[in-house]
Structure 1
C-alpha cells in the first residue's frame, strides 16, 4: 500500500449505500485530481474447513471471482460520475472494518456508506462505519443513501471549538472547500457546560450576554485567520450561536456537500473512541460527514 498516500479509498459491497459512497468518492477524487481505489473484502466460511486447516488456493480464487461483478458495477458508477479519474480495485480477505482501517494507514481519505458492508439494515450508522470512524488513521467520510448528492454545489460546513483536533478538521474543511470551489460555513457554538457553569447563579444582563457573544465572534475570527490566509479563494461565512453543537451543525449542513468535524473536542473523554458530537452527526446530518481523528495523518 506504499502508493496510497494520495488516493481516495472507498469500501464497496454492492449495496445501495455502497453505490452512493462510490459516487461521492469518485466526485471527491475528481475534485482533488487523485486516483480512486475500490476495495471489497470477503471472509473464508469457517464451517467449510477444520480448525487450523489452510484452505486450498482455488477456494480463495473463487471467493475473489465472486467479488468481481460488484467491483465492476462500482467502477461503472465511479466513471459515470467522473469519467476522467483513474480507478483501481483491490479484493482483500478479512473483516471489512479492519480491512478499511488497515488501508487508512496510507490512504488520503476513506469513504464508505453508513449501511451495508455487513451492517444491520435499519441502522443509520452501521457497525462497520462506526468502527472505521472510531479507529481510522486518516479522515473518513460516511455517506447515507438519502444524503448522497455528489454533484451538489452547496457549501462545506465545519465545526470549530478551539481544540487541536478541531484545527485539523478546519484545515481539511478549507482544503475540501478550495478543491470544490465551495463556500465554507464555520460554525462555533458557545452554550456549552463550561459557559453554563460560569453563569450559574449569576444574573447576567442582556449587555453581559452581548459581550460574551462578541467575545465568541472574536475568538472564531482568530481561529480562522491563518486558514483564510492559506486559502484566499475560499469564501467564509461565520456562524456563531448560543446552541448545542450538533443541532447547529445539522441546521447549517442542510444542502451542504459535506460537514467536517473532529472526533474529539472540548469536553471529550480520553477513553471515548468516537466523540459524542461526531457520533450524533453521523446519525443525523443531512449530508455526508467527514470525521477527522486525533491520530489521522494529513
Structure 2
C-alpha cells in the first residue's frame, strides 16, 4: 500500500489584488501550512456592461486582468517559487458566490476586508460579510494594516487617551 502525502484538507482564500487580499493570502498560507492543507487561491471576475454609465470597450479582457493580478499576488506572497500545495484559479462570477461555491467542504475560507465601515458599510454590503453569513465552513476576515489605521483614526476621541487593558489569558482561561 502506498501512502499519498498530498493534503486532503483545503483552505480557500479570495484574492482581488487589494492590500487586504494580500494580507488574507498571507494569513491563509500560514493557516494552510499549520493544517498541512492545500491552499486554494481564488480570484473571481465578471464582465460589467458599463462602468459609471460608460460602456466598456470590447478590447478589455477581465479574465486576463484577473490572471495577471492573481499571478502578481502569488509572487508577492511567496516569491519566485510558488509552493506545490498552493493551487490558484480564476472563476467568472460575483465574488461572494464564487467563494461560497469554492469553499464548500473546506476547512476554512479566508477573505480580506477593505472595510467600507460605518453607515455606508451597512448599506453596501460586502463580499466578506456575505461569506461570513452564508459559508458552510469557518470564515476568517482579515483587515489590512491600512484599514486598521483608518479605523483607529475614525474612532479616536480627543478625551480618550487610555491605554488598552492587557489581559493575561493564561491566568483567566485554563488551558
User: Do these two structures clear the TM 0.5 threshold for a shared fold by scoring above it?
Assistant: yes
Q: Is 1:197 equivalent to 2:51 in the alignment? A: yes
Unaligned runs of 5+ in 1: 1-151
TM-score, normalization: structure 1?
0.40
- Where does the alignment leave 5 or more consecutive residues of structure 2 unmatched? 1-6, 150-175
Does the CA contact (< 8 Å) of 1:191 and 1:242 recur in 2?
A: yes
Which position in structure 1 is the counterpart of 2:137? 287
> 1:199/1:190 Cα in 2 relative to 1: closer, same or farther (>3 Å)?
farther
Q: TM-score, normalised by structure 2?
A: 0.65
Match of 2:4 in 1: none
Mapped pair 1:269 → 2:103: no
Q: How many Å apart are 1:254 and its aligned residue?
A: 1.1
Mapping for residues 240-251 of structure 1, pairs under 5 Å: 240-251=90-101
RMSD (Å), alpha carbons = 3.1
1:213-232 map, 5 Å: 213-229=63-79
Higher RCO (CA-CA < 8 Å; seq separation 6+): 2
Distance in 1, matches of 2:27 and 2:45, equals 22
How many pairs does the alignment contain? 137
In structure 2, the residue matched to 1:116 is none
The residue that corresponds to 1:260 in the other structure is: 110
Structure whose alpha-carbon radius of gyration is higher: 1
Query: Aligned partners of 1:283, 1:202: CA distance in 2, in Å?
Result: 32
